[in-house]
Amino acid sequence: MPNRLINETSPYLLQHANNPVDWYSWGEEALERAKRENKPILLSIGYSACHWCHVMERESFENEAIAALMNQHFVNIKVDREERPDLDAVYMEAVQMLTGSGGWPMTVFLTPEGKPFYGGTYFPPVDRHNMPGFPRLLESVAGSYHNNRSEIDRVTGQITEQMGRTAHMPKTGAKLGDGSIHTAYSALATNFDYQNGGVGGAPKFPQAMTLEVLLRYYAHGHNDRALEMLELTLQKMAQGGIYDQIAGGFHRYSTDTYWLVPHFEKMLYDNALLARLYINAHQATGRGMYRRIAEETLDYVLREMTGLHGGFFSATDADSEGEEGKFFVWTPDEIESVLGSEEAPIFSGFFGVTKGGNFEGQNILNIPENATDFAKEQGIELDRLIDIVQRGKIALREVRQLRVPPLLDDKVLASWNGLMLRAFAEAGAAFDRQDYIDAAIKNATFLLREMKPAGRLLRTYREGQAKLPGFLEDCSFVADGLLALYESTFDLQWLTAAIDLADEMIDLFWDEGAGAFYDTGSDHEVLVVRPRDVFDNAQPCGGSVASDLLLRLAVVTGNDGYTQKAVTPMQTLNELMSRAPAGMGRWLAALDFYVSVPKEIAIIGPADDPATRQLAGTVFGRYLANRVVVGADGEKSPQPPFAKRGSVNTIPLLEGRGMVDGKPTAYVCENYACQLPVTDSEALAVQLGG
């Protein structure tokens, strides 16, 4: 008999719909029952691609005896952390305070008022490895709640008093300069792995935003070693098992220091952030490998992570058929059966495939040495090796598609879609790929029509249903993507939509007294604390993207109010940027934009004129750490269909700008002071810096 979760849209919640646990989703029904019956709440938070979430479900939530204990003593609530990052942030902070660490599955015990008093992560079904068995824990917690309420109240009082302190950091008014950026680089250089790339040791995460700090540092001419650090990391990741050598796209992280053995889940946000990083690296260096990795990653998303509606799906699982990585690994015999006895040894040798394997007796494909050296060792022409590898990858991908695939979490999250929207828009402009621009346009149209149906951006969409009020990250990430799409197309409707969403973001999330954006809107339900996450971890936080977005919109629109709301949080967090750069990557990018002099580029000319496209290609084909781009074709733009406050009437960078001698023309400005207009791409390149 299914439980209440059968009515949810989240694939993660639906996975638990047939548990014998009497699950509720988070809401008034569950909270009211807890108060009415004076029962503590057992809150379980996870996500669909979480390996240990599946383990705990199999061991405990599908166990009739354990489920009976849960149902007897608790009101049980299951939450998808990807749908409700607010709840995840609030109660993760509590678990970290209680235990010193956190993770998923997260298990938290609450009073009926939602106040946490005990928690942890994974609990085994029996006592094991110094961890209490889940049944013993359940009875102990229930007993303490009913027999020692004074102690429970004391603990909840202490915890809730400490929670949310980052949400109440005082304004500082600190003077912002590039000192934090220099300090951050020094810290990253100290902790860098100069043999394998990346920051820190195992497990090793692909910290795209941290790596972008290195690229920016190099681009400003501060230290060439920053580029060496970046390139070592990009190459090691692209050659390692963390990258899907067959189909493209990155797995979540590497369990070792070598980028070889990944945790096999694939997340949309990782691939959006990494695709952009490889795009930028190609723009900065011209290396074809970086473009190939970016395109393979985006092609994978189009092929396997995109719905017919244009929305991008959230994730694929690490497991298939109950085994982690089974979908992705190979034996030499399997490869030979596909490629034949002549080409299989070459293909297998190139990808490090051996009889003994590198993962539980099988092989994660990786590239131990570069193609030129391998071809020379094998005594074959490089072109032949490349041909064998390319044809082999296509053939193995087709065979792999016949396997039982990992679970696809096909819900659409607004924030993660905003990240991927920007990646496709920038790739389309940088690589002159109209198919990428088309994918970005289709996604933007979907987000604005289906996930903003009544003016308020919603968080999640699946099977025709959009729901849950969007969080700060949803508004800021989507507006950020829309601004990138405007820059790539010069279509005014996307700029207007970005401005409308930025204004909505300010209305809902800005707190003038705190001088900060909160993660939940003023129309959100009241939680134990109002969350404000200030760290850029696996994905940027909503606040850092909001500051970055508003700084760029301020240049485009001339609205100084945007600048004030972007800068105030950065002043508060300035010291933290220096002390913890690995968790402040997007903040540092926003700071870099603010303290530098961004290039303001205007391109005037018909969109379909090859000369206009050539000028745009000159801009987007190079890495400019800080720039804004606007454009016009000289004709009056139509009323944007998504405008809430009417069309944008003026863009300062376009005022008084026109074509010279009837030719498409570019203007390069700084602080609204422009160089001479140019109609030649070579002259434009000189103005942009060589």
With 0-12 CB in 10 A as exposed, 13-18 as middle and 19+ as buried, what is 267? Answer: buried
The pLDDT of residue 644 is above 80: no
**Residue 458: both structure tokens together:** 């919603």
Give me the pLDDT at residue 524, please: 96
pLDDT of residue 7: 95
Please give the helix or strand (H or E) that residue 262 lies within, else none.
Answer: strand 262-263
Q: Tokens at residue 419, please?
A: 């990240």
Task: Tell me the three-class secondary structure of 63-117, residue by residue.
Answer: CHHHHHHHHHHCEEEEEECCCCHHHHHHHHHHHHHHHCCCCCCEEEEECCCCCEE
Which residue type is seen at 529? V
Q: Which two tokens stand for residue 429?
A: 């402009």
**Per-residue pLDDT, 633:** 83
Split at pLDDT 50, 70, 90, the class of 192 is very high
- Of the ranges 418-427, 462-471, 571-580, which one carries the lowest mean pLDDT score? 571-580
Q: What is the pLDDT of residue 655?
A: 87
And the tokens for 451? 């996930």
Q: How far is it, in rounded angstroms, from Cα 563 to Cα 594?
A: 9
What pLDDT does residue 639 have?
A: 40
Residue 593 DSSP SS3: helix
Cα separation, 4 vs 13, in Å, equals: 10
Judge residue 528's burial from the number of C-beta atoms within 10 Å of its C-beta, 0-12 exposed, 13-18 middle, 19 or more buried.
Answer: buried
Q: At residue 235, does pLDDT exceed 80? A: yes
Give the type of residue at 475: C
Residue 521 and residue 116: Cα distance in Å, rounded? 22
The percent of the chain in helix, strand and coil, each rounded to the nearest 5, is 50, 15, 35
- Whether 625 and 213 have beta carbons less than 8 Å apart is answered as no
**Which range, of 563-567, 603-607, 617-621, 669-673, averages the lowest pLDDT?**
669-673
SS3 478: helix
The bridge status of strand 673-674 relative to strand 665-670 is antiparallel
Between CA 151 and CA 393 the distance in angstroms is 61
Residues with Cβ within 8 Å of residue 481, at least 6 apart in sequence: 417, 418, 419, 420, 421, 422, 425, 440, 443, 444
Rg (CA), the chain: 26
Query: What are the pLDDT digits (tens) for 553-594?
Result: 999 999 999 999 999 999 999 999 988 999 999 999 999 999
Angle at CA of residue 574, ends 571 and 579, nearest 5°: 165
Percent of the chain scoring above 70 in pLDDT: 97
How large is the average pLDDT for residues 37-47?
Answer: 97
Helix (H, G, I), strand (E, B) or coil at 428: helix
Mean pLDDT over the full length of the chain? 94
pLDDT over threshold 70, residue 175: yes
pLDDT of amino acid 640: 44
Q: What are phi and psi of 77, to 5 degrees?
A: -120, 130
Least confident of 14-23, 306-315, 633-642, 671-680: 633-642
CA dist., res. 213 & res. 227, Å (int): 10
Residue 636 has pLDDT above 70, yes or no: no
Cα angle 423, 426, 427 (rounded to 5 degrees) comes to 80
Residue 642 has pLDDT above 50, yes or no: no
pLDDT at site 514: 87
Q: Is the pLDDT of residue 648 over 80?
A: no
Q: Please state, in angstroms and rounded to a whole number, the distance separating the CA atoms of residues 380 and 530.
A: 63
Q: Is the peptide bond before 105 cis (omega within 30 degrees of 0)?
A: yes
Distance CA 276, CA 205 (A): 16
The upper half-sphere exposure of residue 338, i.e. CA atoms within 13 Å in the direction of its Cβ, equals 20
pLDDT band for position 172 (cuts 50, 70, 90): confident
What confidence score (pLDDT) does residue 690 get?
60
Q: Which of 373, 356, 357 is nearest to 365 (CA)?
A: 357
The confidence score (pLDDT) of residue 643 equals 42
Per-residue pLDDT of 57-77, as tens digits, reads 999 999 999 999 999 999 999
Helix segments in 472-595, DSSP class H: 472-489, 492-509, 542-557, 560-579, 585-595
**Quick one: pLDDT at residue 634?**
61
Bridge partner list, 651: none
Burial category of 195 from C-beta neighbours within 10 Å (exposed 0-12, middle 13-18, buried 19 and up)? exposed
Cβ atoms of 666 and 678 closer than 8 Å: yes
pLDDT greater than 60 at residue 641: no
User: How confident is the model at residue 167, as a pLDDT?
Assistant: 61
The average pLDDT across 230-243 equals: 98
* Cα-based distances in Å from 592 to 215, 368, 383, 595, 600: 12, 36, 43, 5, 15
Helix (H, G, I), strand (E, B) or coil at 264: coil
Average confidence (pLDDT) over 117-146: 94
